[in-house]
């Protein structure tokens, strides 16, 4: 059955000055965007000091579930918007699901055939709860997501709950669907108070929570070698990773999709690099990061000689239409990557290059990357981003030099760098 997920979104102040920074709460325009436009401020990038919890980890048709928005450790929020949406990577994640009650201090916002709930007063809140009623027919797995606003220019967008499973499919016994309590820290994360407006063509990232350490396999894509190019290790109908690219004629960007089987759960990253050789250094990188349930995509660069990776000054450069999920041990991420940019560390794709793939864990208290789990995978030959070639699967290199593609076990120590900054 197809997965879905419910989004509880808390948002203040969206398209208009009278949006939900004011006592009336979120307007109907907030249903699809879920981003507040408070002047030229931007959403916080630090870990949110809030959580979204549910009274149950399963549901069926017309189930009633209590959803709570929490601000522990002495924190507070003033406004919110809560919404339920489909979550699956390849589903319409703008489709809201179910309905809510509206206790005192809140009101219903009609979003198509479904509902959201928002505040009606700007008092400081440490916790609010709502009853969500599922659609009459089970609609697949769902997640509640929220955007919290402390003040006009201080807000966190799309803080989500763990997945609530449709009771029809079997739920793995190892599923970790209840969120861990937020640890109270005596050191407050610095707030981002920027007056620089974010690049206009960046779309909202899709946010999902990693739910289990169990995982099946990435499935082969029948379009590989036909209508899109692919790089994978697929054998006998099973893959541990698959990277695909799809160029549409006269487009100025290319759609990339990355899928990887990730063991161990937790906050993770995966990334692809565009390189002129099969060794780390002087590589243009796009990284997908799943941190505390939020998936973001960043542009970064592997510096030559020192094997050190840093995000670009404009970390969202050239990346739009971001989507992703981390469900049942399968990490999926999609984005459109511009073909060219004047930024020298953002390589153009007119020239053929080697394609690299790596995965790893994030830092404990941020979405900065730690060292990759294993040495990266490399394509055996340079790939054409405008073609639909199905690249040969990687092979294990037989020496410390990348004479063939693949996992480079003898290069492992060469990829290490300082203070948790590593390749991809």
Average of pLDDT values for 184-207?
42
Domains of the chain are 30-166 (2.60.40.4060), 229-415 (2.60.40)
The CA distance from 286 to 349, in Å, is 13
pLDDT band at 23 (very low <50, low <70, confident <90, very high): low
pLDDT, tens digit (0-9, with 9 covering 90-100), for 64-78 = 999 999 999 899 999
pLDDT of 12 > 60? The answer is no
- Residue 319: pLDDT band (50, 70, 90) is very high
Instruction: State pLDDT tens for residues 267-279.
Output: 899 999 999 998 8
| pTM for this model (two decimals) | 0.51
Position 413 pLDDT exceeds 50: no
Mean pLDDT within 18-43 = 62
Q: Mean pLDDT across the stretch 325-340? A: 92
Identify the band that residue 28 occupies on the pLDDT scale cut at 50, 70 and 90: confident
CA 353 to each of CA 248, 259, 276, 284, 375: distance values in angstroms, whole numbers, following the listed order:
19, 20, 5, 10, 19
**Higher-confidence position of 418 and 130:** 130
> Please, are residues 218 and 244 in contact by the beta-carbon 8 Å criterion?
no
Nearest to 3 by CA among 123, 139, 134: 139
Three-class SS state of 75: coil
CA–CA–CA angle 16, 336, 278 (5° rounding): 145
- Write out pLDDT tens, residues 295-311: 889 999 988 865 668 88
pLDDT tens for each residue of 216-239? 789 999 999 999 999 999 988 889
Distance of CA 171 to the CA centre of its chain: 23
| In the chain, % of residues over pLDDT 70 | 69
Residue 394 falls in which region: left (phi positive, over 0), alpha (psi -120 to 50) or beta: beta
Cα(348)–Cα(367) distance, integer angstroms: 26
pLDDT at site 182: 54
- pLDDT reading at 175 higher than 70: no
Other beta carbons within 10 Å of 385: 20
Higher pLDDT, 204 or 63: 63
- Which CA distances in Å does 310 have to 208, 268, 304, 420? 25, 17, 12, 11
Residue bearing the bigger pLDDT, 328 or 423: 328
């Amino acid at each position: 059955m197809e997965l879905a997920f419910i989004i509880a979104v808390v948002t203040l102040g969206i398209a208009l000055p009278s949006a939900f920074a004011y006592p009336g709460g979120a307007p109907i325009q907030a249903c699809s965007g879920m981003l507040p436009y408070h002047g030229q401020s931007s959403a916080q990038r630090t870990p949110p000091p809030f959580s979204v919890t549910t009274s149950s980890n399963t549901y069926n048709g017309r189930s009633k579930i209590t959803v709570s928005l929490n601000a522990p450790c002495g924190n507070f929020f003033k406004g919110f918007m809560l919404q339920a949406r489909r979550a699956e990577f390849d589903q319409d994640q703008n489709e809201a699901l179910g309905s809510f009650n509206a206790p005192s201090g809140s009101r219903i916002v009609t979003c198509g055939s479904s509902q959201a709930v928002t505040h009606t007063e700007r008092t400081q809140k440490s916790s609010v709860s709502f009853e969500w009623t599922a659609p009459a027919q089970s609609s697949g797995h769902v997640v509640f997501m929220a955007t919290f606003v402390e003040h006009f220019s201080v807000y966190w967008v799309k803080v989500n709950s763990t997945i609530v499973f449709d009771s029809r499919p079997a739920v793995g016994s190892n599923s970790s669907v209840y969120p861990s309590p937020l640890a109270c820290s005596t050191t407050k994360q610095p707030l981002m108070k920027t007056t620089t407006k974010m690049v206009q063509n960046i779309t909202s990232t899709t946010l999902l929570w990693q739910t289990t350490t169990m995982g099946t396999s990435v499935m082969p894509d029948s379009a590989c070698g036909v209508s899109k190019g692919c790089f994978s290790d697929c054998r006998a109908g099973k893959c541990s990773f698959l990277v695909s690219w799809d160029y549409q004629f006269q487009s100025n960007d290319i759609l990339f999709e990355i899928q990887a089987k990730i063991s161990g759960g937790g906050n993770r990253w995966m990334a692809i690099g565009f390189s002129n050789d099969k060794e780390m250094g002087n590589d243009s990188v796009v990284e997908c990061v799943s941190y505390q349930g939020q998936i973001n995509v960043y542009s970064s660069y592997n510096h030559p000689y020192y094997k050190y990776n840093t995000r670009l000054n404009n970390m969202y450069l050239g990346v739009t239409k971001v989507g992703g999920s981390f469900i049942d041990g399968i990490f999926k991420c999609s984005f459109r990557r511009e073909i060219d940019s004047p930024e020298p560390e953002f390589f153009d794709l007119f020239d053929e290059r080697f394609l690299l793939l790596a995965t790893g864990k994030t830092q404990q208290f941020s979405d900065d990357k730690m060292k990759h789990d294993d040495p990266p995978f490399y394509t055996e030959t340079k790939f054409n981003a405008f073609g639909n070639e199905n690249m040969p699967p990687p092979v294990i290199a037989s020496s410390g030099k990348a004479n063939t593609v693949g996992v480079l076990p003898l290069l492992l120590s060469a990829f290490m760098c300082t203070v948790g900054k590593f390749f991809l």
